[in-house]
Amino acid sequence: MSQRHHPSISQAIATLASGMLFGFGLALSTMIQPEAVLEFLRFENFGLMLVMGGAVLVTMVAYKGLPRVRSKPLLGGQFQQHASHWNRDTAVGAAIFGLGWGLCGVCPGPAIAALGVGNWDLLYALAGIALGALVQGVNKLS
Amino acid sequence: MTLATTLFPSGWAHFLSGGLLIGAGVALLFALTGRVGGMSTVFSSSWSWLVKSPYFLQQRYTESRSWRLIYAAGLVLGAALWLLLVDGSTPQTTHVPAWKLLLGGVLVGYGARLGNGCTSGHGICGLGSLQWPSLLAVLTFMGTAFASANLIGRWL
């Protein structure tokens, strides 16, 4: 029971290493440069289709394949599923997310990863995202 | 001009290999720990340390807040490693004005959390697990992102 709140060292290292692959990929694919994202959204460069396609492909193989060949993850626990639902919140939230993404060219992962390449301008976006998440949570109460 | 240089004026290999690495990160997290690693939830789960309200103290946030923060730290380290190994240690800058980053960021944070996912949550994890609500979410945010990047983004 306490393991949920104090994850084991090996799980922490695994999580950190997974994040590092993710962050390296974001940097290599230029997703952490708002200009590159905005180029794509203005139909000037279709590279981000390859980023998304490549990431989805590998993820799909893991999500669909691993539970068939193994009963549980390598470090224990269980394979989790995060079901998504189509409702008003999802529709409105996705629409607002897109408006913001098209305005600044930064989404949550790149806003975090940008700290690693010293792109301090993106701290504005990071602060904005944190603020937006706070407002959403506070708003949800009423 | 060939089709490839029209579609990908800055080349295609770094896009594809970067995407495969992003997928490898999500896949490794799942293979080792069973966790589904979208990135926007960390912005809500981390508030649960500071804001003691029922919304932020939901189990799904308090139980995952530690590993999500570690995962986010990995993103920073991974990007730093790329800077050291590949890019020759030139810190990046952007020409997008601060107000656009801040206002766009607020909309991104609010929308991603209201809609329960972002480009990685719905895009990579949702599509990767073949969930049609995520496909609808992706189509919705791509639509509004194309509109705002081409309309608002150009006028202002």
Residues B64 and B84 in one domain: yes
Residues B152 and B130 in one domain: yes
* B91 vs A103, higher pLDDT: A103
Residues B26 and B78 in one domain: yes
Q: Is residue B7 part of a domain?
A: no
Residues B100 and B142 in one domain: yes
Q: Is residue B27 part of a domain?
A: yes
Q: Is residue B3 part of a domain?
A: no
Range of the domain at B129: 94-156
- CB contact under 8 Å between A121 and B94, yes or no, is yes
Residues B32 and B99 in one domain: no
* Cα gap A92→B80, rounded to integer Å: 35
Residues B45 and B114 in one domain: no
User: What domain count does chain B have?
Assistant: 2
How does DSSP classify residue B119? I
Model-level pTM? 0.94
Q: Is residue B44 part of a domain?
A: yes
pLDDT digits (tens, 9 = 90+) for B61-86: 999 999 999 999 999 999 999 999 98
Residues B56 and B101 in one domain: no
Which residues, including other chains, have CB under 8 Å from residue A25's CB and lie 6 or more apart? Answer: A55, B17, B18, B19, B20, B21, B22, B23, B24, B25, B78
Q: Is residue B2 part of a domain?
A: no
pLDDT (tens, 9 = 90+) of chain A, 142 residues, equals 444 545 589 999 999 999 999 999 999 999 999 999 999 999 999 999 999 999 999 999 999 999 999 999 999 999 999 899 999 999 999 999 999 999 999 999 999 999 999 999 999 999 999 999 999 999 886 5
Last residue of a domain, one of B72, B92, B112: B92
The interface predicted TM-score (ipTM) is 0.95
Measure A98 CA to nearest chain B CA, in Å: 4
Q: What angle do CA B141, B104, A90 make, to 5 degrees?
A: 35
Taking each helix axis as running N to C, give the angle between helix A88-104 and helix A123-141, from 0 to 180 degrees, rounded to the nearest 10.
160
Residues of A in contact with B146 (CB under 8 A): 41, 43, 98, 102
Residues of B in contact with A105 (CB under 8 A): 96, 104, 149
- CB contact under 8 Å between A59 and B23, yes or no, is yes
Residues B102 and B70 in one domain: no
* Cα gap A19→A15, rounded to integer Å: 6
Name the residue facing B22 among A55, A132, A133 (closest C-beta): A55
Residue ranges per structural domain of chain A: 2-141
Name the residue facing A77 among B33, B47, B118 (closest C-beta): B33
pLDDT digits (tens, 9 = 90+) for B33-64: 999 999 999 999 999 999 999 999 999 999 99
